Amino acid sequence: MNLNRRDFSAALVGTALGGLSVAARAQAPVEGQQYLRLQPSVPTSTGNKIEVIEFFSYACPHCFEFEPTLEAWIKTLPPDVMFHRVPVPFLFNYENFQRLYYTLETLGKVDAMQLKVFNAVHVEHQRLDKPADMAALVNKVTGVDQAKFLDIYNSFSVATSVGKAKKLVLDSYKVDSVPMLAIQGRWTTSPGQARGAEAAVNTANFLIAQARKG
């Protein structure tokens, strides 16, 4: 499912697509159904590696649902693929959540905290709309000093990252729903588009293979 910034409606989730083996080629993802082609394509920032971006929001319940599947899939990505996340500038508390993500990235704590933040918001129903509350959560889980967290949270570098994210989301990719995966600046897919979390990562695998072909 995806959460749309305009009406927050979610697409229905169906069964996952099969793998991309010879026996399942008839079920290979189809452009316009399981994925969309970007016109024009967006320049990538990963050099010779294939770029995969997840656009997400900590406020999005469908991003929360997608996260366990996504984290498991990330561990399977080959060396020629570079994955990174971009927090979107819409949905509840987005400015704080964007700064939170880039603070975690600066600290090298995204892997430790990503699902913890989602759980805090969607299971424990914490608003996390105050930097001090975010600092306390990160300190509790990772031991990072709260003053250090707040210094980075309020830093120019984090503000710069937030500005770049806003431009990428709204101007380059024109994202209007999350979660969304973008592959090599050429295609997008999502659990809503592909009809399931596993189907979305299977579709991404298919598109990564297409990107390798140039």
CATH of the domain at 115: 3.40.30.10
**Residue 170 sits in which domain range?**
3-212
Question: Count of domains in the chain?
Answer: 1
Q: Is the pLDDT of residue 16 over 90?
A: no
Least confident residue range of 1-15, 22-36, 132-146, 152-166: 1-15
Q: Is the pLDDT of residue 85 over 80?
A: yes
Q: Are 99 and 128 in contact (CB under 8 A)?
A: no
Looking at residue 23, what is its pLDDT?
41
- The mean pLDDT value for 152-164 works out to 98
Q: Is the pLDDT of residue 18 over 60?
A: no
Q: Are 182 and 174 in contact (CB under 8 A)?
A: no
Q: Is the pLDDT of residue 118 over 50?
A: yes
What is this structure's pTM?
A: 0.88
- The mean pLDDT value for 184-207 works out to 98
- Return contacts of 95-100, CB within 8 angstroms, 24+ apart: 95/162, 96/128, 96/129, 96/130, 96/131, 96/134, 97/57, 97/58, 97/59, 97/128, 98/162, 98/165, 99/131, 99/153, 99/158, 99/159, 99/162, 100/58, 100/128, 100/134, 100/153
pLDDT tens, 89-102? 999 999 999 999 99
Q: Is the pLDDT of residue 55 over 70?
A: yes
Residue 2 pLDDT class (50, 70, 90 cuts): confident
Residue 1 pLDDT class (50, 70, 90 cuts): low
